[in-house]
Structure 1
Amino acid sequence: MNDSGNATVVFTLRPDCSVASSRSVGVTGRDVEDLARGADGTLWLADLGDNDRERTTIALIRVPTSGRGQVVRLTYPDGPHDAEALLLPADGRPVVVTKEGGGFGRIYTTDAPVTDADEGPVPLRAEGEVRLPSSTTEGGPASFLGRGLITGGALSADGRSAALRTYTDAWLFPVGGPTADDVVAGLRATPTQVPLPGEPQGEAIAFTLDGALLSAGESPSGGPRARLHEVEVPRTAPSPAPVAVPTPAGTSATAGTTDDADGDAAAGIAAGGLAVVALVVGVWWFGRRRS
């Protein structure tokens, strides 16, 4: 789906990455940067982007299987942050990881599950930080800096593995249980590095149901369309178990944003001028944005 400056529309993609359908969310996100799938199959758009660090609140947009999206606003305990990664474990408590640079991100979660009934803003609680090891992987914009910028996140379908990505690598963390506290604890462990294919501006990361990773990056304006890559996870990494996830009618799996709704089977996924996040459950959902 598209991010800031565009209508908030979710696109469903076929296995060949052509667009099968589109759906207006009914509310306009300010800077949607990620998308997660709740345990009940609903989608949560992560309106977390704040490049200028000036927002008094951020938001999650709940996308039910039918009807208008509902906005849940959240607030940091220590002032504005720019963030592009949302992890949503089975207990419904979102885990937000900020984009600080240098392989460093701050971790926040809530005390209780978020619902569309929350009047908000819901306070986030600081849960420390994540530190990524150094990397020499090439690729992405200004790779020296991009290696340390957290641009996306995903949980495996079984909840046993969390991924954070930079412009060049995915980093996989073991998760010992179904709660936000388990995810936070996992992010304090030493991660396994998975170098990603060179992407113009890689901001998409997601797990397939059999435990592989999907990654993609946006295309420069007027440039070639971005490709969606499937990347094998090393055997030494946290190993998600294959899972059959029931998908309610009209929904798929986690996704994010794309700036081009045409699709392109030969080139993978159309990324346009903004970034992307994707996951597979029968059909492909895609997206995330440039920051």
Structure 2
Amino acid sequence: MGFFIEMLLKLLFLFSIIPFLLSEKLQKKYDMRINPQVEYTIFSGPQKISRIEEDFIDETSGMVVSQKYPGHIFVHNDSDGAAEIYALDTLGNYLGSIRLDGVRNRDWEDLAIGPGPDAGESYLYIGDIGDNFSRYSELIIYRIPEPEALDPEEKLLVVPEKIVLKYPDGSKDAETMFIDPLTGHLYVLTKRDASNTLYKAAAPDLVDGNKVTLERVMDMPITLSVGGDISADGRQILIKNYWVVYYWNREPGESLEETLKQQPKLLPYEPEPQGEAIAFTPSGQAYFTLSEKKLRVEPVLYRYEKVLTPE
């Protein structure tokens, strides 16, 4: 019975990626813009950087670009993977890994970078926020300072801070988390609602060992959100689902909530069978995407360059 269930799931997955594969082929062959609302005047179409060669980086669900070393990208795998963060360079070459001591990867779904306890220091936030069956009462956020240089031959072992979050209105699945660099607030965006819901944990509450009840902020006209990021200057916001990358430009003096209430623009996006990871470069002049490995579809690192500063 297990064999037949597995085969059925694989067939369902094959059918689900047909639209992605067709749209990719049509776009490349006929230079068609499948979605006429996509803005090609802010960021360019994708540049294929490289296929990720390391077999152990196969279910990437979170990604950020280092603020300490702008040429480094940090990624992690999905549920039940190793409790490790992997470092790549911006050409996709493996640089080393960070092992979180005493931690289990229950369902890590996103990675964020931003301020933390020490002023001037950048921190990595690992979001154990996935919950496919809405069975967990708590979300767990692990936080570590950005590491020094890594050795590809040796794992760096670190003991993270641990912050426990709870929804005010019951368990939910989420795959999107980001830190507002202007306030230090942490945001979680749910996935499976018809309109995904944004929640917030205020910066002063993000203390090691704390248990924090999230504040419900707003419902958004997005569904199946799987990743997001905010540029290091706080001026640009990205949220993606499996088909679309949404983009907001934040005006000086606006709160993040005020910005996200506005109509987003749609940015170029290379169709990926299981694309869940997206991240700005520290300058905000480019963003990367990276997919999970599914069946025979290998993960590819894509880069999108900025071509216009939005008004």
- TM-score, with normalisation over the residues of structure 2? 0.65
Query: Mapping of 1:20-169 within 5 angstroms?
Result: 20-26=95-101, 27-39=103-115, 40-65=121-146, 67-90=158-181, 91-102=183-194, 104-120=195-211, 122-132=212-222, 148-169=223-244
Over 3 Å counting, the alpha-carbon distance change for 1:191 and 1:237 in structure 2 is farther
Q: Is 2:110–2:227's contact at 8 Å kept on the other side of the alignment? A: yes
Query: How big is the shift at 1:86?
Result: 0.8
Q: What secondary structure, in the 3-state scheme, does the structure 2 residue paired with 1:113 have?
A: helix
| Count of aligned pairs between the two proteins | 218
Cα displacement (A) at 1:236? 7.5
Which residue pairs with 1:2 in the alignment? 77
RMSD: 2.1
Larger radius of gyration: 2
Correspondent of 1:215 among 276, 282, 289 = 289
In the TM superposition, residue 116 of structure 1 has moved relative to its aligned partner by 4.0
What is the CA–CA distance in structure 2 between the aligned matches of 1:237 and 1:202, rounded to whole Å?
26
The structure with the greater share of residues assigned to helix is: 2
Judged with a 3 Å threshold, the aligned counterparts in structure 2 of structure 1 residues 236 and 20 are, in CA distance, closer, same or farther, namely: closer
Tell me if structure 1 keeps the 8 A contact 2:123–2:145.
yes
Aligned to 1:194: 267
Change (3 A) 1:21 1:186: same
- 1:92 and 1:114 in contact (8 A); partners too: no
Q: Deviations over 1:15-53 (max 9, x none)?
A: 321211111011123111111112221100011101101
Question: In the aligned structure 2, how far is the partner of 1:210 from the partner of 1:188?
Answer: 21
Distance 1:22 1:112 in 2: 28
Closer/same/farther in 2, CA of residues 233 and 97 from structure 1, 3 Å limit: farther
* Distance in 2 (alpha carbons) for counterparts of 1:218 and 1:117: 31
Residue 15, structure 1, aligned to residue 90, structure 2: yes
Tell me, in whole angstroms, the C-alpha distance in 2 between the residues paired with 1:56 and 1:220.
Answer: 30
SS in 2 for 1:164: strand
Give the structure 2 partner of residue 228 of structure 1.
301
- What residue number does 1:205 align with? 278
Q: In proportion to residue count, which structure has more strand?
A: 2
Could you tell me how far 1:234 is from its partner in structure 2?
A: 6.4
- Structure 1 window deviating more from structure 2 (226-235 vs 156-165): it is 226-235
Structure 1 position 195, deviation (Å): 3.2
- The CA distance in 2 between the partners of 1:126 and 1:219, in whole Å, is 33
Q: How does 1:249-264 map to 2 (within 5 A)?
A: none
The unaligned stretches of length 5 or more in structure 1 are 133-147, 239-291
CA positional deviation for 1:177:
5.3
**What does residue 255 of structure 2 align with?**
182
3-state SS of 2:257 partner: helix
SS of residue paired to 2:77: coil
- CA deviation profile, 1:247-282 (whole Å, cap 9, x unmatched): xxxxxxxxxxxxxxxxxxxxxxxxxxxxxxxxxxxx
